[in-house]
Chain A
Amino acid sequence: MKLVTMAAAAALALGVTGAQAEPVKVGLITTLSGGGAGLGIDVRDGFMLAVKQTGNDDLEVVIEDDQRKPDIAVQLADKMVQSEKVDVLTGIIWSNLAMAVVPSVTAQGKFYLSPNAGPSALAGKGCHPNYFNVAWQNDNLHEAAGAYANFEGFKKSFILAPNYPAGKDALTGYKRFYEGDLAGEIYTKLGQTDYAAELAQIRASEADSVFFFLPGGMGISFLKQYKDSGVDLPVVGPAFSFDQGILQAVGDAALGVKNTSQWNKDLDNPTNKAFVESFQAEYGRLPSLYASQGFDTANLLLSAMAKADVKDADAFREALQAGEFASTRGNFKFGPNHHPIQDIYVREVVKEGDVYTNKIIGTALTSHADAYWSDCNM
Chain B
Amino acid sequence: MSLILLIEQVLNGLQFGIMLFLMAAGLTLIFGVMGLINLAHGSLYMIGAFCAAAVAGLTGSFVLALIAALAGAAIAGALVELVVIRRLYDKDHLDQVLATFALILIFSEGTRWIFGSFPLFLDVPDYLSGPITLPGGIEYPLYRLTLIIVGLLVALGLYLLISKTRLGVQIRAGENDREMIAALGIDIAKLYTIVFALGAALAGLAGALVGAIQSVQVGMGEPVLILAFVVIVIGGIGSIKGALIGAILVGLTDTLGGIFLPEVMKLFFDPSTATSIGSSVASMAIYILMAAILILRPSGLFGARA
A→B interface (CB under 8 Å): 32-35, 37-38, 41, 163, 168, 171, 185-189, 191, 193-194, 196-197, 200-201, 203-204, 216-218, 220-221, 224-225, 227-230, 245-246, 248-253
Contact status of A188 and B5, CB under 8 A, knowing A221-B215, A249-B119: no
Q: Establish whether residues B123 and A246, one from each chain, have CB atoms under 8 Å apart when the complex forms.
A: no
The segment from B187-195, B268-276, B298-306 that touches chain A is B268-276
Q: Establish whether residues B121 and A200, one from each chain, have CB atoms under 8 Å apart when the complex forms.
A: no
Q: Establish whether residues A186 and B9, one from each chain, have CB atoms under 8 Å apart when the complex forms.
A: no
Nearest-Cβ distance from residue A140 to partner chain B, whole angstroms:
20
Which residues of the other chain, B, contact A171 by a CB distance below 8 angstroms?
A: 272
Q: Establish whether residues B275 and A187, one from each chain, have CB atoms under 8 Å apart when the complex forms.
A: yes
Q: Smallest CB-CB separation from B123: which chain A residue?
A: A251
Nearest-Cβ distance from residue B138 to partner chain A, whole angstroms:
10
Partner of A35, one of B143, B218, B259, B271: B218
What separation, in Å, do the CA atoms of A217 and B1 have in the docked complex? 30
The segment from B124-132, B149-157, B196-204 that touches chain A is B124-132
Q: Smallest CB-CB separation from B119: which chain A residue?
A: A249
B223 within 8 A of A: yes
Partner of A163, one of B2, B139, B279: B279
Q: Smallest CB-CB separation from B12: which chain A residue?
A: A196
What separation, in Å, do the CA atoms of A229 and B144 have in the docked complex? 9
Which residues of the other chain, B, contact A203 by a CB distance below 8 angstroms?
A: 5, 8, 139
Contact status of A217 and B220, CB under 8 A, knowing A193-B215, A201-B5, A228-B131: yes
Which residues of the other chain, B, contact A194 by a CB distance below 8 angstroms?
A: 12, 16, 213-214
Q: Establish whether residues A185 and B215, one from each chain, have CB atoms under 8 Å apart when the complex forms.
A: no
Q: Establish whether residues B118 and A249, one from each chain, have CB atoms under 8 Å apart when the complex forms.
A: yes
Which residues of the other chain, A, contact B258 by a CB distance below 8 angstroms?
A: 197
B103 within 8 A of A: no
Q: Establish whether residues B141 and A204, one from each chain, have CB atoms under 8 Å apart when the complex forms.
A: no
What separation, in Å, do the CA atoms of A228 and B126 have in the docked complex? 10
Which residues of the other chain, B, contact A229 by a CB distance below 8 angstroms?
A: 131, 141
Which residues of the other chain, B, contact A37 by a CB distance below 8 angstroms?
A: 112, 117, 218
Contact status of A220 and B131, CB under 8 A, knowing A186-B279, A196-B15, A249-B121: no
Q: Establish whether residues A163 and B8, one from each chain, have CB atoms under 8 Å apart when the complex forms.
A: no
Give the contacts of B66-84 with A (CB-CB under 8 A).
Answer: none
Which residues of the other chain, B, contact A221 by a CB distance below 8 angstroms?
A: 213-215
Nearest-Cβ distance from residue B41 to partner chain A, whole angstroms:
17
Q: Establish whether residues B141 and A220, one from each chain, have CB atoms under 8 Å apart when the complex forms.
A: no
Most buried by B among A171, A246, A249: A249
Which residues of the other chain, B, contact A185 by a CB distance below 8 angstroms?
A: 271-272, 275
Which residues of the other chain, A, contact B139 by a CB distance below 8 angstroms?
A: 203, 230
B106 within 8 A of A: no
Q: Establish whether residues B280 and A163, one from each chain, have CB atoms under 8 Å apart when the complex forms.
A: yes
Q: What are 13 sample pairs from A and B whose C-beta atoms fall under 8 A apart?
A: A163-B280, A168-B276, A185-B271, A193-B214, A196-B255, A197-B9, A200-B8, A200-B12, A204-B4, A217-B119, A225-B141, A230-B131, A249-B118
What separation, in Å, do the CA atoms of A41 and B139 have in the docked complex? 40
Give the contacts of B261-290 with A (CB-CB under 8 A).
Answer: 262, 271-272, 275-276, 279-280, 283
Partner of A200, one of B9, B130, B214, B220: B9
